[in-house]
Each structure stands twice: as C-alpha cells, then as structure tokens.
Structure 1
C-alpha cells in the first residue's frame, strides 16, 4: 500500500477516492492511506464500502465520477470487482481519465473480470507473470507445462510456492521439524524466487520483498511500470514511518 501511494504521488495523482469491501482489510488499508495522505500532501476526496459480494455499483461509481478525484484506490474483493469495473466502463470512466489502482487483482482476476474492463488499470504486487529473470522463466514454464499454456501465474500463487521452499530451508538449517526450532532458524534465510531475491527477517517473521506497480495490458497480462529498486525491509507495524504514529 505504501509503495503504491508513493507511486501515485510521484505521478501527480494526489486526490484519491477509496473504494473497498466492508471488512477488516479494506478498513485497515484505508486508515493507512488516510494517515499517509495527510502527511504527504494528498487528499482523500471520498471513501465508500460495499458489502462483501455486492454487485450493485451504479450509485458508488456516480459518486466517484463527481468527486474530482485523480485516482481510485481499490480494495474491493471477489465478484464485486467484476461488477465495479463493468459499471466503471459503462459510466465512461477509463484508465486514462481516472485510473484505478488495485491491490487484489492479479492475472487470474484479470482473466475472470475481462481484459476489456481492466486494460490500462494499475495494480500493486511483488510479482507478475512477466517479471524478468531466469528463475521466473523456469517457474512459469513448469507451471504452464503442468496446467496449460493459457493458465497465468500470479503473485499469490508465487508467494505460496515461495513459502514451501523458505520453510524447507529453515527446517534444514534447524535440523528439525519442531516449530520453535524452525522459527529460530528463520532469520536470514534467502531464496532466489521467481520474483527475485527474498530474505526472511527473523525478528518479524516477514520477508524482504521488492514492490512492483503494474499495468494491465491488452493481452491480459500485467507489465511492470515501476519497482522499488530492491527488496524493502519488513515493517509490519509501520514503526519506521512517523506519519503512522498513533495508528492502531
């Protein structure tokens, strides 16, 4: 979320409309966005939530259209994204006129929603099927050989794959399957993953990862348009950001 906001700010997209499903993740994400925006010269011009699974977005899209936003930050999940983006296009809104940055839409979702509704829109992840490198070429080829050339890889899929190999390395380092021993051995475990080099931080049990902003292409794949230049140190409670002080 934070790298996504930094990307939007650097593009001059400083007036945000927040759209999310009504449960803990979007509510928490938007608390972070509100705090970041206040401290970094951005403005939240609207914030709306839809019930999980909601498929009625005409009123919400009308509100987005009239709010004077530069961009929409989308934390909708599931089938709601299908209905939202169809209504968005029906209202005449496009990636050029009012871009949407999503944090829950990967290659599989692009396929199910429809590329015609998402072309040009933005996403924030750590991995895309198009991420360059030999490790990803091998990963993608093996996956598609097993499941079909039309089956895309995605960030959640790659993260699950990584987790197995990170655990393997920890267990081998610990010489044990004991949970406490594996946890104690986790610090510094590194994997040359499809997304690039990732490293476990033992103190937080989180992973150093490179942030990537992507744009949906006409072919249904997502192409990287920006990255953080290297892995970001984990900071799950945002202790390194003064603007996040007081968030709970």
Structure 2
C-alpha cells in the first residue's frame, strides 16, 4: 500500500480514505484513469484548504484486477488501516467481492463505474450509470438507426451477463431479435475473437452489442476489422468501450463504433475542458480521460462536501448529508438520489471518428434520475430527444 499521492503529504490530522484501483491486470488502463481522477479531486480539495481544515490523505492499493485481491485489500484498509471510506472498483465482480467486507465492518464504498443495476446497499454509493441512464438510450438509438437484429458478446463474469439480459429485454420489447450471444474469458487470445466474428458472420446481425471489458476490447475491435466488417453497416455498440480501451487500438480500428456514457473527453463545455486540461496536467498528456475517471473525480468532491456537512467520516452520518449534495461535474450538474444511493447523470451517445475520438451524436439535454431496477423500461415510452425522463 502506498500512502498519499505525489502531491498529498500525510499528516496526523487528516481524513484518510482507501483507494482501490488496479495499476495492473486486464482493466488497468481504465482503472488508472479512475485513479487519476480521484487524485486530481484530492489535490483540488487539499489546495482549497482540505475539509474543515484537515487534508485528505489517500491510502492507495493495486488490486491487480483480481476480485479476491479487492476483498482482501478492502478488509485490510478497514480493519488494519482504520479507514472508513473506500473509493474504487471497476468490474462488478470486484464490487461484489468488496461489499460483504464493507458491510461487515461498517464502512462505505464509493463505486464510480457503470454497472448492471438491480442492487442496493446502505454501504455503497453508486456514481456510475445505471441501466436507465445508458442501456435504454443506446438500445433506442441503435434500433432506430441500424436495425433490430442484435448479436451480444461479453466477457465471462457477472456484469456482461446481466447487462446483456437487460439489453435483450429492451430489444425484444421493440419486436427485435437477439440472433447470437457469446462470452469469452478475461484475457482470451486473439483467436477467440476471430472465432466470434465467424459466428457473427453466420448470424447476420444489424448491431453487435459488446460488454467485453479492459484490454480484451482492443482484440474484439481488431477482430471485427480483420473480418472485413464495415462499422457503418455493422457497428460495435458498447457501454464499456471508453477512451482508455480505444488508446490500446491501432489507428482507424475504432472508427464508426458507438458508446453511451455521461462523459467523453471531447465534450466542449467549459467545465469539461477545464477538467480534461487539469487531468492531463496532473496525470500526463497521454492519459485518456474516461467517463469512469470523471465519476471517480466528482464522487470524491461529493464525499468531501458531505464530510464537511457531517463533520465526521462515520458512514451513517456521511450518508445522511450526502443525499442533499450536488456538484458541478464536467458532464454537468450531478446529485445524489437519497432514496437509492445512485446519482443523477446526463446520458449521451457518441461515435468514434477516424482519429479514435468520440463525437457526441445524441444528448439527453439534462440529468436523468437513477432507476437501478428499471421500473420504467419500455422503449416505446422513450422519446426521440430523450427528454421525457430527463429532469433538470
């Protein structure tokens, strides 16, 4: 464990927080961006005087994309280090590995990653997108612009199975059809994705929906390109392909493919530009700025605001204050929904250009209330501009 960031000096009078992002392993690229967003927020909080005059100190770990390591390190942070607040996790398998430990020891986990929904814990704050903030918008867009025959491919763990189940429900509701579904192990070889593309060719879908994660994403997109598919006619649409995964691809491989997320590095708003510039100054010009990094950034600011209100890092007291907190995030204003511990977020859809940069093609125009259980999930009720469920 490393205590503190390069710009954070530990003191005896500080707020100590546990950080769990992988610097190694299959999801290292995107989790490194999450760490960068977290440490940028801590730098900003400390530069402004800390919280109630006390600095925030980061106790940093590298769980190496291994759920067992997440569980072990979370327990170590809570029990041996005496930390109450944990920030981290990317794959749902890692969140699910940590939660029993966090609940058992009375801690609070801030989880900055899109996920499959259908979960609630008094010991978890969810700042990534729920399915009603990305999946339903993406399904609607794809059905209207590409067709209703979907091929689903995912990594072999909990999030892809559940996310694909939700996407299947949306597609079937719109009288579409899932013409294939396949899962590949994390770290699968190039040949595995080549075989998947042969199955795609046989199925003749209109869209490939991918829940492949991490470094495997680059192998999937390369296999699509090598198979000769045209992304203008058969795009890969994904919730898990971010700037971090695109940075692992050869130039041109990603062009034409589609992602739904609340934030993209290319957003042109003043707040987004300031964030991207500050992120790169701190973490290096080469570091991709992802939606997961933005969530990691604003969740730390939300936690600091709640900490200032509560005057303590006791999770129960902090949660009582968190429900009233808002923050002008790079994506736009975000706020916590006290009823389910999820975050109001602004859905967007973007297409990758020839230079591997996301260009927004659809924007909800406002933040959307989190509905992790998809109580409202009929695509026929979702209008073309997305505003029916978008609340300022």
TM-score tier (shorter): over 0.9
Structure 1 residue matching 2:343: 3-state secondary structure: strand
Superposed CA deviations along residues 99-129 of structure 1, whole A, max 9, x for unmatched, are: 1101111112111122321111111111001
Q: Any stretches of 5+ residues in structure 2 without a counterpart?
A: 1-134, 380-392
Residue 174, structure 1, aligned to residue 290, structure 2: no
Q: Where does residue 8 of structure 1 map in the other structure? A: 142
Q: Which has the larger radius of gyration?
A: 2
8 A Cα contact 2:170 2:378, kept in partner: no
Q: Any stretches of 5+ residues in structure 1 without a counterpart?
A: 244-248
8 A Cα contact 2:256 2:353, kept in partner: yes
Match runs of 1:19-168 below 5 Å: 19-55=153-189, 56-168=192-304
Deviation of the 1:164 alpha carbon: 0.4
Structure 2 residue matching 1:168: 3-state secondary structure: helix
Match runs of 1:177-192 below 5 Å: 177-192=313-328
8 A Cα contact 2:215 2:248, kept in partner: no
8 A Cα contact 1:171 1:182, kept in partner: yes
Whole-angstrom CA distance in 1 between matches of 2:353 and 2:309: 42
8 A Cα contact 1:54 1:79, kept in partner: no
Residue 17, structure 1, aligned to residue 151, structure 2: yes
Structure 2 residue matching 1:239: 3-state secondary structure: coil
List, as ranges, runs of 4+ consecutive aligned residues in structure 1 with deviation greater than 3 Å. Answer: none
Deviation of the 1:86 alpha carbon: 1.5
Whole-angstrom CA distance in 1 between matches of 2:269 and 2:306: 24
Deviation of the 1:63 alpha carbon: 1.0
Superposed CA deviations along residues 24-81 of structure 1, whole A, max 9, x for unmatched, are: 0010011111211121222111111111111222221011122121110000112322
Q: CA RMSD in A?
A: 1.6
Whole-angstrom CA distance in 2 between matches of 1:2 and 1:23: 21
Whole-angstrom CA distance in 1 between matches of 2:179 and 2:339: 38
Deviation of the 1:13 alpha carbon: 2.2
8 A Cα contact 1:190 1:198, kept in partner: yes
8 A Cα contact 2:215 2:245, kept in partner: no
- Greater shift in the superposed pair: 58-67 or 157-166: 58-67
Superposed CA deviations along residues 131-154 of structure 1, whole A, max 9, x for unmatched, are: 121211111111222233333311
Deviation of the 1:216 alpha carbon: 1.2
Number of residue pairs matched?
243
8 A Cα contact 2:152 2:209, kept in partner: yes
Structure 2 residue matching 1:176: 3-state secondary structure: coil
Deviation of the 1:242 alpha carbon: 6.1
Q: Where does residue 104 of structure 2 map in the other structure? A: none
Question: TM (normalized to structure 2)?
Answer: 0.60
Q: 1:242 to 1:106 in 2, by over 3 A?
A: closer
Whole-angstrom CA distance in 2 between matches of 1:20 and 1:74: 6
Q: Where does residue 246 of structure 1 map in the other structure? A: none
Structure 1 residue matching 2:260: 3-state secondary structure: strand
Q: Where does residue 34 of structure 2 map in the other structure? A: none
> Which of residues 316, 325, 341 is equivalent to 1:205?
341
Structure 2 residue matching 1:49: 3-state secondary structure: strand
Structure 2 residue matching 1:219: 3-state secondary structure: coil
